C-alpha cells in the first residue's frame, strides 16, 4: 500500500481509502446491504493496508453507518481513521447538530469520529449551516472529543469553495470531486492547490466518476493507452496492460 501526507497532521493515510456509499446489496435494494460480502470487503481492505474509511449519514438510505459500526468490530475500528458526514440539509436548529452527531456515534459504535465533514456544501447550504452556528458548535464537539478533526465535502464552483476554506481556521481537510476529466469542474485543480496552500489535507471523491471512467472507453483513448509502454506487473510477476481504473488512479497519484 502507498501512503501519503495528510495536511499538517503527523499521520499517513493510505493512498486508497474505502468508501461505504456503493456497497454490495441484496434484491436490488440500496437499503439492504449484503453484510457478509461487504464486511469481507471492508476487512480485506484494512488487512491490506487501507486505514481511512469514508461514510455519511444518508448512504444506503441511512443504513451504511450502522453496518460499518458492526463491520469494524473485532479490533478493526482501532486500525483505521473513520470519516463520516453531517447531513446539513437536516439541520434546522442548533439542537439538531448535537442530535445528529450523537446518533452517528451510536450507529458507528464509537466514541470519536476521527474526521467529521459537513456534507455536500455549496452556495446554498453553506450560509444556512453557517448561520445556525455550526462553527461554534464544532469547537465544542472538538473540545469534548466527539470529533477529532473538522472538514467539509463540496459540490459547487471554485469561488464558493474558496469562500468556505477562508471562513474558518477549524478546517483540517476537505473532500472534492476530482479526476482526469474534472480538472476545471467544481473546485478542480485550482481548489486542490488552494486548499493545499492553506495547509488543508484533500480527500478525493469520484476518482472514477462513479465508475464511468472504467466503462465504455472511447476507441481513441484506448488506442492511446495501448500505445503506452507502461505496464502493470502483478504479484506473480505477470505483465498486464493497465486497466481504465488503473490509468485514472495513476493520474490522481501523480
- pLDDT tens string 48-78: 999 999 999 999 999 999 999 999 999 999 9
> What confidence score (pLDDT) does residue 240 get?
73
Dihedral angle, C-alpha 21, 57, 6, 9, nearest 10 °: -160
Alpha-carbon distance 254 to 235, whole Å?
22
187-202 b/e (C-beta count within 10 Å ≥ 16 → b) = bbeebbebbeeeebbb
- pLDDT tens string 22-37: 999 999 999 999 999 9
Alpha-carbon distance 15 to 3, whole Å?
5
**Cβ count near 51 (within 10 Å):** 18
Q: How far is CA 206 from CA 74, 192, 232, 252, in A?
A: 30, 14, 23, 11
Q: Say which residues have a Cβ less than 8 Å from residue 183's Cβ, sequence separation at least 6.
A: 189
| CATH topology assigned to domain 18-206 | TIM Barrel (3.20.20)
Supply the DSSP symbol for 198. T
Alpha-carbon distance 215 to 142, whole Å?
42
> In the numeric block, which cell numbers belong to residue 235?
504479484
> In the numeric block, which cell numbers belong to residue 98?
448535537
> What confidence score (pLDDT) does residue 232 get?
66
> In the numeric block, which cell numbers belong to residue 71?
463491520
> In the numeric block, which cell numbers belong to residue 241?
496492460
- pLDDT tens string 157-204: 999 999 999 999 999 999 999 999 999 999 999 999 999 999 999 999
- pLDDT tens string 79-119: 999 999 999 999 999 999 999 999 999 999 999 999 999 99
> In the numeric block, which cell numbers belong to residue 18?
474505502
> What confidence score (pLDDT) does residue 254 get?
86
Contact 67, 53 (CB under 8 A): no
Could you please report the per-residue DSSP string of 110-145? -S-EEEEEEEEE-TTHHHHHHHTTHHHHHHHHHHTT
Whether pLDDT at 239 is above 80:
no
Which residue ranges make up each domain of the chain? 18-206, 216-254
| pLDDT band, residue 226 (cuts 50/70/90) | confident
pTM to 2 decimal places = 0.93
Amino acid at each position: 500500500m502507498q501512503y501519503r501526507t495528510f495536511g499538517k497532521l503527523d499521520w499517513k493515510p493510505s493512498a486508497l481509502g474505502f468508501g461505504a456509499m456503493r456497497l454490495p446489496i441484496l434484491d436490488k435494494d440500496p437499503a439492504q446491504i449484503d453484510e457478509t460480502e461487504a464486511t469481507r470487503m471492508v476487512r480485506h481492505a484494512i488487512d491490506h493496508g487501507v486505514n481511512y474509511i469514508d461514510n455519511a449519514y444518508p448512504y444506503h438510505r441511512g443504513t451504511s453507518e450502522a453496518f460499518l459500526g458492526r463491520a469494524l468490530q473485532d479490533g478493526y475500528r482501532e486500525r483505521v481513521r473513520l470519516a463520516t458526514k453531517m447531513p446539513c440539509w437536516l439541520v434546522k436548529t442548533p439542537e439538531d447538530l448535537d442530535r445528529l452527531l450523537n446518533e452517528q456515534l451510536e450507529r458507528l459504535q464509537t466514541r470519536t469520529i476521527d474526521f467529521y465533514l459537513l456534507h455536500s456544501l455549496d452556495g446554498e447550504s453553506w450560509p444556512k449551516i453557517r448561520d445556525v452556528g455550526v462553527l461554534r458548535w464544532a469547537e465544542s464537539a472538538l473540545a469534548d472529543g466527539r470529533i477529532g478533526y473538522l472538514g467539509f465535502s463540496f459540490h459547487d464552483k471554485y469561488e464558493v469553495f474558496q469562500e468556505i476554506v477562508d471562513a474558518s481556521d477549524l478546517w483540517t481537510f476537505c473532500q472534492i470531486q476530482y479526476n482526469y476529466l474534472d480538472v476545471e469542474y467544481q473546485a478542480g485543480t485550482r481548489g486542490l492547490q488552494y486548499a493545499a496552500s492553506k495547509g488543508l489535507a484533500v480527500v478525493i471523491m469520484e476518482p472514477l466518476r462513479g465508475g464511468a471512467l472504467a466503462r465504455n472507453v472511447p476507441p481513441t483513448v484506448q488506442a492511446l493507452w495501448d500505445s503506452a509502454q507502461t505496464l502493470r506487473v502483478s504479484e506473480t510477476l505477470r505483465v498486464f496492460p493497465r486497466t481504465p481504473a488503473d490509468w485514472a488512479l495513476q493520474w490522481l497519484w501523480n
